[in-house]
Homo-oligomer: A and B are copies of this chain.
Amino acid sequence: MSTFGKFFRVTTYGESHCKSVGCIVDGVPPGMTLTEEDIQPQLTRRRPGQSKLSTPRQEKDRVEIQSGVEFNKTLGTPIAMIVKNEDHRPKDYSEMDLYPRPSHADFTYSEKYGIKASSGGGRASARETIGRVAAGGIAEKFLKQVSNVEIVAFVSQIGEIKMDRTFNDPKFQHLLNTITREKVDSIGYIRCPDVTVASDMVKEIEKYRGQKDSIGGVVTCVVRNLPTGLGEPCFDKLEAMLAHAMLSIPASKGFEIGSGFQGVSIPGSQHNDPFYMDEETGRLRTKTNNSGGTQGGISNGENIYFSVPFKSVATISQEQKTATYDGKDGILAAKGRHDPAVTPRAIPIVEAMTALVLADALLIQKSRDFARSVVN
């Protein structure tokens, strides 16, 4: 299904070769100032063709709000948003008629639907994410107004080149406390906030481009200023919803929150986050944040942070020995130039999906807060 969320809910549509892509966002609070200028920046960050590191196709990706907004104020009714498909050039993919591209969704879409879309994997196209990013822009604006929630994602690894992500290292936690989108974008399209590492990452990407190959990466994301109490026991724990959201992004292969995979070898006595009273805010806080901002699936007021690995792009220019749909061995060579590393473009998508999860969890909890306040 193409719907995500319960109260703050997005339904997306569109594949790469149809008239338009977009979404309907339901459950947007009424009376919120909103224009296309709130939505466009993240769409522009998501767009291919931003630098020589990415694919040279030029897509305009201008969002048009269709409904739910009058005089720049949301009505509380569904907001439909459309982005026209302009530069699709379906002819480029003709060989696909014979070959399911390895590690693309061509084969599985064919198995699932019994029909081949001209783009092969229909909704597996990266263009599907436009609707998500547009919806995320609204969710982010709402979250910002609630409690100045900040969501910042960055590239923490490309191939073998990585930033230190040791969860219990104060330097890493300091980075999470201070990183901004401006900082992330300041070094360029690579979107890694460490100048030296970023430079090595660019070289890594160029190396694989030279080999007509591709390479993956990891995106790390932090959420600051989130209220406590978000996340629904027991199946819709906040980290469960975030994991769901992240694994729904094309090419993602995992998720870890807080100490994640590293944490399993740290004993409980060190892993536990002890409490202290924060005199400034008068709130109970934790001295460490190995949990990554949730306990029992519920936000505890500390930073939420998590990482998501993205596999190497499946479309490569070099030849691949594979088989046709009919099972005949052969060699597939993708035409045209291809983006050797899409991880930097995943940044606004990760941020958008995070915002969608949080806006939904917040609305659900606020309904409970009301109920709490009236019963006895």
Contacts and interface: CB of A to CB of B under 8 A. Distances in A.
B254 A261 contact: yes
B105 A372 contact: no
B368 A29 contact: yes
Nearest to A315: B268
Nearest to A269: B213
Contacts of A248: 234-237, 240, 297
22 contacts: A1-B26, A1-B27, A2-B234, A6-B6, A11-B24, A13-B78, A13-B79, A18-B67, A32-B376, A70-B118, A76-B122, A102-B274, A107-B275, A108-B300, A160-B265, A211-B267, A240-B245, A253-B261, A268-B313, A268-B315, A284-B325, A370-B370
Contacts of A29: 368, 371-372, 374-375
Interface in A180-236: 208, 211, 213-218, 228-229, 231-236
B24 A277 contact: no
Interface residues of A, number: 166
Given A253-B261, A269-B318, 16 more contacts: A1-B26, A1-B235, A11-B78, A13-B78, A17-B70, A76-B113, A107-B295, A142-B371, A145-B374, A146-B374, A214-B269, A216-B271, A235-B248, A268-B316, A363-B368, A370-B370
Given A102-B286, A160-B265, A124 B244 contact: no
Contacts of A310: 264
Contacts of A70: 17-18, 117-118
A103 B21 CA distance: 38
A237 to B, nearest CB: 5
Given A3-B235, A257-B254, A109 B309 contact: no
B371 A363 contact: yes
A48 interface: no
Contacts of A41: none
A375 B33 CA distance: 8
B372 A30 contact: yes
Interface string A279-301: 00000101000111011111111
B272 A320 contact: yes
Residue of A82, A275, A299, A374 with most chain B CB atoms under a 10 A cut-off: A275
Given A19-B66, A145-B375, A253 B243 contact: no
Nearest to A369: B370
Nearest to A21: B67
